[in-house]
């Protein structure tokens, strides 16, 4: 099955009447037709569809956006029909409705460029989400949160207090109904239990073109190696530091004239753009995780 995408020309339905269905499973014949049939059978109209078959992994992935304004049943009945179909084909799936805005928590330390960029895009409605809180291990950026009217919570962390502070962070996040955590240069390593609790829902920005220069001080490492390109990588966080499924990357050229400070300046521009893309794609349900890789329907 070849990768392809289709779309239909139609008057855009209001967001409340839009649904986005994401599925993945072992590849086989008839998957596209079966999914289209179950949606059409309930009166849903497909707005656009994008699919990909990975011949190496033998896996199939699809993203379908549909108009549910003329359903012949209700949402619960449609969900039941999709559930029966996906069970028959052994599909992993999730369906999100346009009237359900994701709630995002931003974690940050002292670097402000990614935080300010995300909040500016959110304020300009480029990021369709709610941001009920910002978490930090320092007080430094409280004024930024205050400017945008977002509660700012500080959890100072030491080796002795780390477990207790993470437990308090988890309680805060869950009480606020947060669905996505964005590490906007949060200079703390999250514990494995924390990450596992929010698997595939923590996006980190690493100031390097991974897998090169993992860990700390990547710009200094890049300068020492005399590289001609530096990059930034947005990925889902896993227990293995800087090794999670990559969502987006970008690079910029550099030269022997660039010192570590120059590389950091160039890199900070990349970090903002790469992180914003990854967050937007997650919010728009464009990402499917398969093992330690992602399929991004961008």
For 119-128, which contacts have Cβ atoms below 8 Å and span 24 or more sequence positions?
A: 119/144, 119/148, 119/150, 121/276, 122/148, 123/148, 126/276, 126/280, 127/276, 127/279, 127/280, 127/283, 128/101, 128/283, 128/284
Catalytic residue flag (residue 242): yes
Report yes or no: 211 and 247 within 8 Å, Cβ to Cβ. no
**Beta strands 229-236 and 202-206, pairing class:** antiparallel
At residue 72, φ and ψ (nearest 5 deg) are: -90, -5
At residue 129, φ and ψ (nearest 5 deg) are: -160, 175
Q: Which of 242, 250, 262, 285 is catalytic?
A: 242
Radius of gyration of the chain (CA): 21
- Residue 138 neighbours by CB under 8 Å, 6+ apart: 109, 110, 154, 156
Question: Which sequence positions are flagged as catalytic?
Answer: 242
């Amino acid at each position: 099955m070849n990768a392809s995408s289709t779309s239909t020309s139609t008057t855009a339905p209001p967001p409340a009447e839009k649904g986005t269905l994401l599925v993945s499973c072992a590849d086989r014949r008839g998957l596209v037709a079966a999914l289209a049939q179950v949606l059409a059978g309930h009166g849903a109209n497909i707005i656009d569809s994008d699919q990909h078959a990975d011949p190496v992994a033998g896996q199939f992935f699809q993203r379908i956006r549909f108009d549910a304004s003329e359903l012949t049943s209700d949402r619960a009945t449609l969900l039941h029909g999709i559930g029966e179909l996906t069970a028959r084909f052994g599909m992993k799936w999730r369906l999100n409705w346009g009237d359900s805005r994701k709630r995002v928590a931003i974690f940050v330390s002292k670097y402000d460029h990614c935080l300010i960029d995300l909040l500016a895009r959110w304020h300009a409605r480029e990021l369709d989400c709610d941001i009920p809180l910002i978490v930090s291990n320092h007080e430094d950026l409280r004024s930024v949160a205050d400017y945008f009217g977002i509660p700012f919570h500080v959890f100072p962390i030491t080796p002795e207090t780390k477990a207790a502070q993470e437990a308090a962070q988890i309680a805060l996040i869950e009480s606020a109904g947060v669905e996505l955590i964005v590490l906007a240069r949060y200079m703390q390593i999250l514990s494995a239990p924390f990450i596992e609790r929010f698997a595939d829902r923590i996006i980190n920005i690493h100031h390097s073109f991974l897998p090169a220069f993992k860990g700390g001080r990547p710009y200094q490492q890049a300068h020492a190696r005399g590289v001609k390109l530096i990059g930034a990588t947005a990925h889902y966080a896993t227990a293995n530091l800087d090794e999670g499924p990559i969502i987006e990357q970008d690079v910029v050229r550099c030269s022997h004239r660039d010192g570590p400070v120059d590389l950091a300046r160039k890199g900070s521009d990349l970090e903002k753009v790469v992180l914003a893309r990854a967050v937007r794609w997650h919010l728009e349900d464009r990402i499917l995780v398969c093992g330690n890789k992602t399929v991004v329907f961008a």
